[in-house]
Structures are given as structure tokens and as C-alpha cells.
């Protein structure tokens, strides 16, 4: 199994998150997997192996466009894609289903040239298997790839939370100095007023601070 880049993975997840795609919950596990391969015997064998491992299989799709259509309709947890398929290759299809639907992919290919591997790491691909694939390789790759996807999603969630806390802190600081100016009081007293208003109204401190900034009459002198 070819390694994927964790930094590129996190960037891909953040792109999907910014597009409004729901990220997996902690402890979630893939149950429904899409198979896309234009070689009928390979696709059939892959579907059989996945079912043997306990997964529910969608497809197989025979080209990239069909894979996208199936993903939009069936919403699998994970997609296993061949690279070289007609109409649209697996990497292009993987990028579409990831950026639009948040569905991660594993690439299965007979080719391991650096260009393919590098391209895969930028488009929501979390695993890369070289054909032919054994049952054990498939089991391990699905497990590891999903773990990478969940880890990257958790990192993005933490980053977004940190960004929000920093933004909230800026708003609170700005509101505090607005109150100092309006009422002619010291900074600690302004903070206490904000905190008291938040408790009394059962709102967050950031919400109250935003109201102070937007409302000239709130906490005016007098």
C-alpha cells in the first residue's frame, strides 16, 4: 500500500468542510463502499472480497462519470476507484466526489509512478493499492485509509474551533473597550458587565459582545 500525505489529506478535508460537507463523527466506521473499475472480472472480485469482509457494496461502476452518479444517489462512506477508466479517470472522479460529497477514496491501480501517487494525495484519496489486491491487503487498506480520513477530519474540526475561539476573543476585546469608552469605567468592570449580561440573557459572551458593538444604546453611559 502506497502511503498518502497527511498534510495534503487535511487540506483536502478542510476544502470539503468549507464546502459544507458533513465530516464523519468520532468513532464512525464505513459500512457502504462504492466500487468503480472498468475491468469486469476485477470489479466482480473486488465486490466479492468486500462483501466477505462485511461491507455493503454499491456498484460496480464502469467509468468515472457513473461512479459520481452512484455516489450522488447512494452516498457511500468510501469509494474504491481504478485510475484508468473511460469517460473520466478515477482521480478526476475521486476529486469530484470528495469535494462535492465528502466521500473519501482509495485508488486501486497497476501503476505506481510518482505522478499518479502525488496527484492522488491532493484529491481526497486516502489509500493507494497496487493490483492485484489480496483480501488481507484490502482489509488493511480500508481500515488504515478510513482512520486517516477520520484523523484529518478531526484536525480540521479542531482548527475550525480554534479559529472561532480566536475570533470570539477579538469580538469580546472590542466590545469591552466599547463599554470602557461609553461608561467611563475600568476594563475589569467592563468585562464583568459583559459576563453578567451573558448570564442574565443565557447567551454566549461572544453573542453579547457582538450586540454591544452593533447597538449604541447597550451599556451606554448613565
Domain residue ranges of the chain, discontinuous segments joined by +: 6-160, 164-214
> What's the chain's length in residues?
222
Q: How confident is the model at residue 11 (pLDDT cuts 50, 70, 90)?
A: very low
How far apart CA 190 and CA 184 sit, in angstroms, is 9
Q: Residue 23's pLDDT is what?
A: 62
DSSP strands (E only) in the chain = 32-36, 56-61, 78-82, 105-109, 125-130
Calculate the average pLDDT of the chain: 82
Tell me, yes or no, if the two domains 6-160 and 164-214 fold the same way: no
- Give 10 or 213, the one with higher predicted confidence: 213
6-160 has which fold? Rossmann fold (3.40.50)
Q: Residue 109's pLDDT is what?
A: 85
Say which range, 61-75, 127-141, 173-187, has the weakest mean pLDDT: 173-187
Express as a percent the part of the chain with pLDDT over 70: 77
Residues 134-174: tens digit of each pLDDT: 999 999 999 999 988 888 777 776 666 677 788 888 888 88
Q: Residue 210's pLDDT is what?
A: 86
Q: How confident is the model at residue 19 (pLDDT cuts 50, 70, 90)?
A: very low
Q: How confident is the model at residue 94 (pLDDT cuts 50, 70, 90)?
A: very high
DSSP lists the bridge partners of residue 107 as 81, 128
How far apart CA 52 and CA 134 sit, in angstroms, is 12
C-alpha torsion angle, residues 170, 173, 175, 177 (rounded to 10) = -140
Backbone angles phi, psi at 132, to 5 degrees: -75, 150
pLDDT of 21 above 60 = no
Q: Residue 121's pLDDT is what?
A: 64
How far apart CA 54 and CA 61 sit, in angstroms, is 20
Q: Residue 75's pLDDT is what?
A: 94
- Give 107 or 153, the one with higher predicted confidence: 107
Q: How confident is the model at residue 217 (pLDDT cuts 50, 70, 90)?
A: low
pLDDT of 12 above 60 = no
- Give 67 or 87, the one with higher predicted confidence: 67
Query: Grid coordinates in use for 11?
Result: 487540506
Q: Residue 120's pLDDT is what?
A: 64
Strands 78-82 and 32-36 come out as: parallel
Q: How confident is the model at residue 7 (pLDDT cuts 50, 70, 90)?
A: very low
Q: Residue 10's pLDDT is what?
A: 44
Query: Could you tell me the pTM of the whole model?
Result: 0.63
C-alpha torsion angle, residues 91, 96, 97, 100 (rounded to 10) = 160
Q: How confident is the model at residue 122 (pLDDT cuts 50, 70, 90)?
A: low
164-214 has which fold? Arc Repressor Mutant, subunit A (1.10.10)
Amino acid at each position: 500500500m502506497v502511503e498518502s500525505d497527511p498534510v495534503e489529506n487535511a487540506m483536502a478535508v478542510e476544502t470539503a468542510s468549507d464546502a459544507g460537507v458533513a465530516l464523519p463523527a468520532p468513532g464512525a466506521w464505513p459500512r457502504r463502499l462504492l466500487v468503480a473499475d472498468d475491468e469486469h472480472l476485477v470489479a466482480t472480485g473486488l465486490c466479492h472480497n468486500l462483501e466477505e469482509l462485511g461491507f455493503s457494496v454499491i456498484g460496480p461502476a464502469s467509468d468515472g462519470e457513473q461512479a459520481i452518479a452512484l455516489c450522488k444517489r447512494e452516498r457511500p462512506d468510501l469509494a474504491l476507484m481504478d485510475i484508468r477508466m473511460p469517460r473520466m479517470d478515477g482521480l478526476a472522479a475521486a476529486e469530484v466526489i470528495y469535494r462535492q460529497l465528502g466521500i473519501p477514496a482509495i485508488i486501486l491501480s497497476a501503476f505506481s509512478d510518482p505522478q499518479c501517487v502525488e496527484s492522488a494525495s491532493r484529491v481526497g484519496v486516502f489509500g493507494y493499492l497496487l493490483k492485484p489486491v489480496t483480501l488481507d491487503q484490502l482489509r488493511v487498506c480500508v481500515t488504515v485509509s478510513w482512520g486517516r480520513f477520520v484523523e484529518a477530519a478531526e484536525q480540521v474540526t479542531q482548527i475550525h474551533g480554534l479559529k472561532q475561539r480566536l475570533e470570539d476573543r477579538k469580538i469580546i476585546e472590542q466590545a469591552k473597550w466599547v463599554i470602557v469608552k461609553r461608561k467611563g469605567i475600568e476594563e475589569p468592570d467592563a468585562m464583568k458587565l459583559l459576563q453578567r449580561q451573558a448570564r442574565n440573557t443565557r447567551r454566549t459572551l461572544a453573542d453579547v459582545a457582538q450586540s454591544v458593538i452593533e447597538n449604541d444604546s447597550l451599556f451606554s453611559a448613565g
